[in-house]
Amino acid sequence: MKKPTCGVVILAAGLGTRMKSDKAKVLHEICGSPMIEYVVGTARAVAGDNVVVVVGHQAELVRSTVRKIGATYFALQEEQHGTGHAMVCAMPHIPEDVAQVVVLCGDVPLIRPATIERLLSDHIAHERDATLLAVAVPDPTGYGRIIMNSGCLSAIVEEADADGEQKKIRTINTGIYAAKRSFLEKALPQLRSDNAQKEIYLTDIIGIGYKESRNIGVVLGNDSNEIIGVNSPEDLQAAEKSMRLRIREKS
């Protein structure tokens, strides 16, 4: 059976106020390169030219940085209303022949192509509508928690919306998904901003799929370091340290 055509959407529109800088978050450097370069490199290793980068803050600077790596499509998110809104902006720019869409975050530079390939292969093999990459971490503070019901993924609850019991859950959302394009086209218009942050969360497609009895699943990542999100100068230092170790191991 022919493998469905895959595309990747990279969410890279944010400023990142906690970075204490007026530079777009994804342009902060790790080992001398803007972090978006690492994410685009992973995306292209998986999907070739079928990569859409969602830009917003300092859009032209991000575009010009990405263009140095190779051909990529761009979607503009003029106002940032959350990850779900970013995906709505991206959908019209995904090439028509793409049947499966992987979602990556521009501020998660350590994710490896092999991890995304494993996620995508598992997603396709089980003929799921959506598959989430999750990982268990010692301290889940700040991350969306994975809610299971009778062995099925039923929802992702963001930190701000989680109750006391949900905050104890250590399996977290990495923000990385594989999904059928056809499912996204039906689920994204249903997203709403009725939450503590008043944002349109992409995570809510999981609850939508669960309610519709869709085939929704989880793949557990092996290395929590891969999904370090860079939200602060401290996170940037941690990502730099991990990247230096990775480069040293290769040499």
Give 133-182 pLDDT, tens digit per residue: 999 999 999 899 999 988 789 999 989 899 999 999 999 999 999 999 99
* Residue carrying structure tokens 């830009």: 55
Name the CATH topology of 6-134+173-250: Spore Coat Polysaccharide Biosynthesis Protein SpsA; Chain A (3.90.550)
pLDDT-based confidence at 27, cuts 50/70/90?
very high
Between CA 7 and CA 164, with CA 156 as vertex, the angle to 5 degrees is: 155
Alpha-carbon dihedral of residues 9, 15, 21, 26, nearest 10 degrees?
0
Tell me the C-alpha to C-alpha distance, in Å, between residue 123 and each of 6, 50, 75, 201: 12, 18, 25, 21
Per-residue pLDDT for 251 more than 80? no
Please say whether the dihedral angle defined by the alpha carbons of residues 47, 52, 58 and 64, taken in this order, is positive or negative: positive
d(CA 27, CA 187): 31
Instruction: Tell me what pLDDT residue 3 has.
Output: 60
d(CA 147, CA 77): 29
Cβ–Cβ < 8 Å for 16, 107: yes
* Catalytic machinery residues: 18
Q: Which of 84, 88, 233, 102 is nearest to 144 (CA)?
A: 84
| CB atoms closer than 10 angstroms to residue 75 | 23
Per-residue pLDDT for 2 more than 70? no
The per-residue pLDDT of the chain, averaged, comes to 93
Tell me the C-alpha to C-alpha distance, in Å, between residue 34 and each of 12, 23, 62, 225: 12, 11, 9, 18
Q: Kindly state the average pLDDT of the residues 114-124.
A: 97
Cβ–Cβ < 8 Å for 224, 10: no
Length of the chain: 251
**Residue-wise pLDDT tens digits, 190-203:** 999 988 889 999 99
Q: Which run of H or of E encompasses 102?
A: strand 100-105
